[in-house]
Amino acid sequence: MAGTGSATTLGTLLRELTADPTAVEEVVTAARGNSPEIARLPPAEVRRQVVALLTCGLTALERQDDPGERDFAEARRLGADRAAQGVSVAGLLRGVQAGRNRAVELVVRHGRTAGIPDDVLVEGLLTIGRYAAALERAVVDGHRHAERDLARAGHDARTRLLRRLLIGPEPVERAAEELGRFGLRAEGPYHCLVAEGGDPVRAHALTRRLSRYGAVLGTVEGRLAGLTPRLPPADRLDEGVLVVAAPAGPLDRAPVMYALCVAALRAAARRGRHGLHQVTELAGETALAAQPALAELLGATLPAGLDPGDEFHRELASTALTWLDHGQRLDRAASALHVHPNTVRYRLRRLRELTGFPPVVETPGGWPVLETVRWWWALRTWLERG
């Protein structure tokens, strides 16, 4: 960048950096790399923050007014959102400050390349620094106000109650008074639900959405979990979130339902599932996942004639799984694999020659259920661990 040494040139530089995806990504990487809590946020969310901070610096340089006269409502909202998402003020500031330091390095490096004199760079960065400090104070202020509001709303007490109800054992009659405080009735019934963790932004949005249906939610063993009198339609939830719910039942059954939901959540996550699922829908995967030693034994014995390093062998196993998943129908499996039914028939025959895979039954009913489960489990395990 060619420069004249003026503040306008520095403003142009900041404007270009703010619009430069590579520069923004460097700042994002610094922020996420220095704060594990920020790293758990979606990169797009952090990127939005970075652009907002760079834009703030640009505005500060152009306006040259007193930071005390600025409205930092957006920064306060940012702090409040992070508090609600469970990000600590220390974790938030580590990310903000690391990103700011990286942005300063970029300004200095590109400024010198553009020919901007050091004294102009220093003066501009001092101006930006005053605004950055005021912005950070606003972030902290918003975070602390939100924490106090959450505490007044009974956030901590609600979470403690949920942990006692879901992990147990907590006699429901002993917690009757507390239940009423949070809109629950000892006589129930309630759905227990558990959501996949790791994304505080989505967890916060999910909490707000489920609360509209009477859900009482909190963080239990690192996951969003809770009780709700009714479930929302599946299409009303973020399709990128995995939620597992149990059928409605009495509160004294909540620990059992919670344990089942957690097991089903793990099984569904391993399969890459998303959306809202009933624990009963995931019964097969959950039951099989609870027997890893038996899965290992099946995966090592039934497909023993296959070589994990041979792509053709992996294709045979995958084809057989698809055939089993599609009701042992050659036409449906062929359609799913985008091949001719005769290709499916050939691959299953080759698999039988190599492993003793049972013969294809082309009459209604197919294999016995237990034989189907045995081979489905064995092939799935072999493919996953091969």
Pairing verdict, β 191-195 and 242-245: antiparallel
| CATH number, domain 292-385 | 1.10.10.2840
State the distance between the two ends of the chain, measured CA to CA, in whole angstroms.
Answer: 53
Number of neighbouring beta carbons within 10 Å of residue 11: 16
Contacts of 205 (CB under 8 A, 6+ apart): 238
Q: How far is CA 305 from the centre of its chain?
A: 39
Q: How far is CA 275 from the centre of its chain?
A: 12
Q: Which fold has domain 7-152?
A: Globin-like (1.10.490)
Spatial distance between the Cα atoms of 282 and 244, rounded to a whole number of angstroms: 9
Give the per-residue pLDDT at 5: 40
Per-residue pLDDT in tens (0 to 9) along the chain, 386 residues: 334 344 447 778 888 888 888 988 998 899 889 888 788 776 777 887 778 777 766 666 666 655 555 567 777 887 887 777 667 888 888 888 888 888 888 888 888 888 888 888 888 888 777 877 888 888 888 888 887 776 666 677 788 888 888 987 666 766 767 777 777 888 879 999 999 866 666 777 788 888 888 888 888 887 899 999 999 888 888 878 899 999 999 988 999 999 999 999 999 998 888 999 999 999 988 998 889 999 999 999 999 999 999 999 999 999 999 999 999 999 999 999 999 999 999 999 999 999 999 998 876 678 888 999 999 999 999 998 86
- Given a contact cutoff of 8 angstroms between Cβ atoms, the answer to whether 188 and 250 are in contact is yes
Give the per-residue pLDDT at 312: 95
Spatial distance between the Cα atoms of 137 and 141, rounded to a whole number of angstroms: 6
DSSP 3-state of 244: strand
Q: How far is CA 251 from the centre of its chain?
A: 28
3-state secondary structure 113-174: HCCCCHHHHHHHHHHHHHHHHHHHHHHHHHHHHHHHHHHHCCHHHHHHHHHHHHHCCCCHHH
DSSP 3-state of 378: helix
- Compute CA distances 142 → 115, 157, 299, whole Å: 39, 22, 54
Give the per-residue pLDDT at 3: 40
Domain ranges of the chain: 7-152, 155-289, 292-385
